[in-house]
Amino acid sequence: MQKKCAIGIDLGGTNLRVAKVSPEGEIVTKITASTSEEVLGSVHKAIDSLFSDEIAGVGIGVAGLISRERRRVIISPNLHVVEKIDLVGEIAKRYGVPVVIENDANAAAYGEMWVGAGKDIQSFVLLTLGTGIGGGMVHGKKLLNVPAEIGHMSVSSDGEKCPCGNSGCLESYASARAILSRAVYHLEAGRESLLQMYYEGNFYKLTTEDIFKAALDGDNLARDLWKSAGRYLGVGIANMINLMGPDAVILTGGLTGAWDIYIQEAVKEASKRAFRELFERVKIIPSLLKDDAGLIGAAGIAFNILRTQAV
- Residues at the interface with Zn ion (CB under 5 A): 152, 162, 164, 166, 169
Smallest distance from Zn ion to CB 128, Å: 15
Smallest distance from Zn ion to CB 175, Å: 10
> Which residue number, 28 or 75, has a Cβ lying nearer to Zn ion?
75
Rounded CA gap, 230 and 263, in Å? 6
Q: How many CB atoms are located within 10 Å of the residue 93 CB?
A: 10
Smallest distance from Zn ion to CB 78, Å: 13
3-state DSSP helix/strand/coil % of the chain, to nearest 5: 50, 20, 30
> Which residue number, 173 or 212, has a Cβ lying nearer to Zn ion?
173
Smallest distance from Zn ion to CB 127, Å: 15
> Which residue number, 132 or 297, has a Cβ lying nearer to Zn ion?
132
> Which residue number, 68 or 161, has a Cβ lying nearer to Zn ion?
161
Nearest to 218 by CA among 201, 237, 195: 195
Q: Is the dihedral of CA 228, 229, 234, 239 positive or negative?
A: positive
> Which residue number, 81 or 164, has a Cβ lying nearer to Zn ion?
164
How crowded is the C-beta side of 12, counted as CA atoms within 13 Å?
Answer: 18
Rounded CA gap, 9 and 147, in Å? 19
